[in-house]
Amino acid sequence: MTNLSTFLGATALLALGAGAAIADPAVIFDLGGKFDKSFNESAFTGAQRWAEETGGTYAEFELTAEPQREQAIRRFAEQGYNPIIMVGFMSATPLGEIAPDYPDTKFVIVDAVVEQPNVRSVVFNEHEGSYLVGLLAGLASESGTVGFVGGMDIPLIRKFGCGYAQGVKAANADATVIANFTGTTPAAWNDPARGAELALAQIGQGADVVYAAAGATGVGVLQTAADQDIKSIGVDSNQNYLHPGEVLTSMIKRVDNAVYDAMTAGEAVETGVQVMGVANEGVGFALDEFNQDLITPEMKTAVDEAAAQIASGALQVHDYTADESCPALTF
């Protein structure tokens, strides 16, 4: 192997052929990878939409290790990419340290707030969207018991679960919400079999609507719910089409719009905190031809009313991450 090192060292002197066009945007996907059927994929969809509409090109990187967060941000910044978009809250601390080193580059972070003059922080009110689908679940449930399947037990997913439980309780104060998490390693985001088991267990406890906020694990939850003939709720993207007539609705989080908007604005992207809630259609519930028969006019009226109240500020949904407690659910 000493021979190998010498050989490699000699080759290392050769110039690197990869260059970059000036001021293309760059996207850094989080550890789940861009095809996670959920959060990262939504960002990828937004980036692709921008590329198709404008004919532009963008650089991308899928993280595989923690130290690469800083590495990818620095490499893209030094190559002149602008703006640099990263999705995922774990990049907040590295970005906060690095952003001042590249004052002429604009950064966009999704799902976290970084207080720097050249950073746009896009955060979503997932609790509001989850409240709306929780309300629908509470109204649709006949047994008075509904389920929640989270991915990894992290504050963000508790925020989903807490909003959901509040919505359920708003529809039926006596309802029971069963909350389970898939696992304690990142494998929890991609474990449909375990998702199916948890859904079955919840059905066994009487749940007749289950909400999956678990990335690709949710595919197994939705499948089991369809097989067992109960209702399910999708997450992040509109997943109603997966099992037409069986998926009650989906909690939509428009990460794609956040990425698309940032790319469209380009280097002129406005910095500061941008909150995407029910009011500006950053989150919401999905209603289309696949679930229109499941949502009765009464349910539609109730959920539209709640959405209007949330948008106007008349109805405040409690955010778990604000004080790390939930009035409607204990984790």
Partner 1 sequence: MDKMPRWADILLVPLISLILAAAISALVILAIGENPWNALKIMVTGALGSTYAWGYTLYYATNFIFTGLAVALANHARLFNIGAEGQAAIGGLGVALVALYLPWPHWTLALLGATAAAALFGAAWAAIPAFLQAKRGSHIVITTIMFNFIAAALLNYLLVGPLKPSGTMETATAPFPPSTHLPSFQDMFSTADTPLFRGTPANVTFFVAVLLCVLVWLLIWKTRLGYEIRAFGFSEGAARYAGIGATKIIMVTMLISGGLAGLMAINNTMGEAERLILNAVEGAGFIGIAVALMGRSHPLGVFLAAILFGFLYQGGAELSLWTSIPREMVVVIQALVIMFTGALDNMVRMPLERLFARRTRSTPLAPPGPTLHPPGRMAPPSTPAAE
Residues that bind partner 1 (CB under 8 A): 1-5, 8-9, 11-18, 33, 59, 61-62, 64-68, 70-72, 74-75, 89-90, 92-93, 111-112, 152-156, 158, 184-186, 321-324
Taking the complex as a whole, the smallest distance from the CB of residue 95 to partner 1 amounts, in Å, to: 11
Of residues 134 and 183, the one with the C-beta less far from partner 1: 183
CA 311 to chain centre: 20
- Phi, psi torsion values for 280, nearest 5 degrees: -105, 25
Query: Do 225 and 202 form a contact (C-beta atoms < 8 A)?
Result: no
Of residues 157 and 287, the one with the C-beta less far from partner 1: 157
CA–CA dist 220, 211 (Å, integer): 12
Of residues 18 and 173, the one with the C-beta less far from partner 1: 18
Of residues 23 and 187, the one with the C-beta less far from partner 1: 187
In sequence order, the 6+-apart residues with CB closer than 8 A to the CB of 266 are: 23, 25, 82, 83
Query: Do 209 and 55 form a contact (C-beta atoms < 8 A)?
Result: no
Burial of 195 (C-beta count, 10 Å sphere; 0-12/13-18/19+): buried
The amino acid at 35: F
Taking the complex as a whole, the smallest distance from the CB of residue 149 to partner 1 amounts, in Å, to: 16
Residue 304 corresponds to which tokens in the numbers above?
């539209």
Residue 310 corresponds to which tokens in the numbers above?
């949330």
Taking the complex as a whole, the smallest distance from the CB of residue 278 to partner 1 amounts, in Å, to: 20
Query: Do 41 and 239 form a contact (C-beta atoms < 8 A)?
Result: no
Taking the complex as a whole, the smallest distance from the CB of residue 129 to partner 1 amounts, in Å, to: 17
Taking the complex as a whole, the smallest distance from the CB of residue 32 to partner 1 amounts, in Å, to: 11
CA–CA dist 265, 56 (Å, integer): 13
Of residues 22 and 322, the one with the C-beta less far from partner 1: 322
Taking the complex as a whole, the smallest distance from the CB of residue 49 to partner 1 amounts, in Å, to: 19
Of residues 45 and 68, the one with the C-beta less far from partner 1: 68
Of residues 17 and 204, the one with the C-beta less far from partner 1: 17
Q: 121-139: buried (b, 16+ CB within 10 Å) or exposed (e) per residue? A: bbbbbbbbbbbbbbbbbbb
26 in helix, strand or coil?
Answer: strand
Taking the complex as a whole, the smallest distance from the CB of residue 64 to partner 1 amounts, in Å, to: 6
